[in-house]
A and B are shown apart, each in its own frame.
Chain A
Amino acid sequence: MNVLRSSTLLRNLAATAIFLVIGFLAVYSVDEYTAGTVAKLALYICAALGLTVLVGGNGQISLGHAALMAIGAYTMAKFLPSRTDDFGQVSIGVIVVGLILAIAVTTLVGAVIGVAAARLRGPYLAGATLALGVAVPGVTTYFHDTFNGEQGLPIPVPRLPASLESAGWTIGHVVALIAIACAAVALLLMANLKRSAVGRHLAAVRDHEISAQLCGLSVPREQVRAFAFSAATAGVGGGLLGLVIQGANPHSFGLVLSLSVLGAVVIGGLGSLRGAIWGSIVVVYLDLILKDELKVDPNAPAAAYGLLLIVVMLAMPGGIQGLLTRLGGRLPRRSAQPQGGN
Chain B
Amino acid sequence: MERFILFTVNGFAFGAIYASVALALVIIWRATRVLNFAQGAQAVASAYVAWSVTDATGSFWLGVLAALVSGLVIGALVQLTVFRKAESMPHLNAVIVGVGLLILIQAVLGMAYSVETTRTIDAAFSSSKWQVAGTPLVSPQDVFVLGSVLLVMAGIGYLMAKTPVGLRMRAAAFAPDTARLMGVKVSRMLTLGWAVAGLAGAVAAILVVPTSAELTPQVMDGVFVLGFTAAVVGGLDSLVGAVVGGLGVGLVLSYTSGYLSSDLLYPAALVLLIVILLVKPEGLFSAAQARRV
Contact = CB atoms under 8 A, between A and B. Distances in A.
Q: Find out whether A and B make contact in their complex, taking CB atoms under 8 A apart as touching.
A: yes
Interface of A: 55, 61, 63, 115-116, 118-124, 126-128, 130-132, 134-135, 137-139, 141-142, 220, 255, 259, 262-263, 266, 270, 297-300, 302-303, 305-310, 313-314, 317
A306 B100 contact: yes
A142 B103 contact: no
A134 B108 contact: no
Listed from nearest, the 6 A-B pairs whose CB atoms lie closest are: A309-B100, A306-B104, A306-B103, A303-B107, A127-B232, A302-B107
B96 A262 contact: yes
A121 B281 contact: yes
Interface of B: 29, 35, 82, 85-86, 89, 91-93, 95-97, 99-108, 110-111, 221-222, 225, 228-229, 231-232, 236, 261, 263-267, 269-270, 273-274, 277-278, 281-283, 290-293
Contacts of A116: 274, 277-278
Contact of A299 (B111, B221, B228, B282): B111
16 contacts: A116-B278, A121-B291, A126-B95, A128-B232, A131-B225, A135-B267, A137-B266, A263-B99, A266-B96, A299-B110, A303-B104, A306-B102, A306-B104, A306-B105, A314-B82, A314-B97
Contact of B267 (A139, A308, A310): A139
A127 B267 contact: no
A61 B95 contact: yes
A188 B229 CA distance: 37
A119 B104 contact: no
Contacts of B92: 55, 61, 122, 270
Given A300-B111, A313-B93, A308 B277 contact: no
Contacts of A115: 293
Contacts, number: 148
Interface of chain B, main secondary structure: helix
Given A121-B281, A124-B281, A309-B96, 7 more contacts: A128-B277, A134-B266, A220-B291, A255-B221, A298-B110, A313-B97, A314-B85
Contact of A134 (B105, B111, B225): B225
Nearest to A134: B266
B93 A310 contact: no
Nearest to A299: B110
Contacts of B225: 130-131, 134
B259 to A, nearest CB: 13
Contacts of A302: 103-104, 106-107, 110
Contacts of B282: 121, 124
A185 B222 CA distance: 37
Contact of B293 (A220, A262, A299, A314): A220
A138 B290 contact: no
